[in-house]
Amino acid sequence: MARQPVVAGRAEQLLGSAVVATAPVAGGDISTAVKLRLSNGRTAFLKTLTHAPPRFFAAEAAGLRWLADGAADGGVATPEVLAVDDDCLILEWVEAGRPHTESASRFGRALAATHARGADGFGAPDDGYIGRLPLPNRALPTWAEFYAERRIAPYLKVLRDKGIVSADHAGTIEAAVARGASVVPDEAPARLHGDLWNGNVIWTNDDRAVVVDPAAYGGHREVDLAMLALFGLPQLPQVMAAYDEAAPLADGWEDRLGFHQLFPLLVHACLFGGQYGARAAQVAQRYL
């Protein structure tokens, strides 16, 4: 590891500890990511974004801390937030390993425990981000209302305005989502990670899974499970079985995964193109 003076200096300002070495690492398609070796022996992870939107890193840090609140009770592990400012976020370093059956089962039980910590309602005190897109979180009384108004409508509007989805496809998605109250069983708000796809789960060498990059809010617990299934989490059957054993899911949950996947599919359509919009319409057709 060499030492990048500008990056090291910024980290030292926030941490109050000398940075011995830095090294660029893969950190997604939004932020620049750097591994830091500190003089106190710790290793840290810094992500930074020039001209970051307001509260971009603060929202992520708040989500990590909210999720970590349940870790002592067996909930999912998150990296410790070491420092946060408008332009960057510094976390403890998590060394990646390989998933095993026991680590997958442990993750399923931990996710169930985190969900069970609950939330004050469907939504969150502040808006956030999913990827680089704004994520509206103003609370609504029911999950069906929140899902339709805060998770589907904003992104469908963007796609319509940009001509990325056709009127027919948009109408199909809206019609399916309008049936949310009859599709999804009532449950109390769960404490959600909110963006729980495979890339945001780090498997470690000590048989744990650590979750990162949350878009946390209070919502229906099946949403996190649906996102895990959408992009192919390793050892997914073991995760789901352990979750269902720890916190049994309502009958038909597997058939509802597609309904909850409409949201991330529309987000991906906004970020990466219209093929995801067409896929969302195809999935929505099942619920009409």
What is the per-residue pLDDT for 28? 65
Point out the residues that are catalytic: 195
CA-based torsion, 17, 23, 25, 31: positive or negative: positive
Beta-carbon count within 10 A of 278 CB: 16
Helix, strand and coil in the chain, % to nearest 5: 45, 20, 35
Start-to-end CA distance of the chain, whole Å, equals 56
| Spans of the chain below 50 pLDDT | none
CATH numbers and ranges of domains, the chain: 5-92 (3.30.200.20), 101-287 (3.90.1200.10)
Measured CA distances, 62 to 45, 55, 59, 116, 135 (Å): 17, 10, 5, 19, 14
What is the per-residue pLDDT for 4? 81
What is the per-residue pLDDT for 58? 98
What gap in Å lies between CA 225 and CA 129, rounded to an integer? 19
